[in-house]
Amino acid sequence: GQKYLICCDSLSALQAIKTGSCNYLVHQILEKINNSPKEIHLEWVPSHLNLPGNNLADELAQNALNLDIIENLPLDYSDYKINIKKQIHLKWQRQWDETNEGPNETNLYKIKPVLKNWPSSNRKNRQEEVILTRLRLDTNLLNRKHKFTGDNFPLCQTCQTRLTSNHILIECP
């Protein structure tokens, strides 16, 4: 497997990760490290040594590690909001994947399996946007009729292959 070395100049942060501190951010970091297929090593790299004020800050951070009572600060509202949005998006993505499994796969899923912003669809000209979307989804005048009449899917007159936008634009000789 791949091996990674992450260097950090915060000894207290690395000690918190090592001891499994009850801080929410530390738990998130540990979860990502433990769930990763990659081998990740964290290494302390001292920096800012002997700079005025830095030694005092290091000493205070070290003293804080030895306190008997560790106060858990509540998460800020914005942290909750970010986490809730992330969980909603993950659930939405799972539902999108599940409803498009096997024979249920839609044309939209074929071109957009991951739910995220689609910068290529931000055209100022609506007519261009409609044309591109119809080409992407393969819903156009060439093959629309059979969907309503129940007729067989139209075939290309050149090579007798199923007539799709992709076939006309890319595949057909």
Sign of the CA dihedral with 57 first, then 59, 62, and 68 last: negative
Q: What is the DSSP letter of 50?
A: T
Amino acid at 11: L
Q: Return the percent helix, strand and coil in the chain, to nearest 5.
A: 55, 10, 40
CB of 107 closer than 8 Å to CB of 139: yes
Contacts for 16 with CB less than 8 Å, ≥ 6 apart: 23, 26, 65
Domain ranges of the chain: 3-65, 117-171
- Residue in this structure with the two tokens 């995220």, named with its chain if needed: 116
Across the range 20-38, mean pLDDT stands at: 79
| Full-model pTM | 0.44
pLDDT at 132 over 70: yes
Q: What is the pLDDT of residues 81-118, one digit of tens each?
A: 888 999 999 999 999 999 998 888 888 888 889 998 87
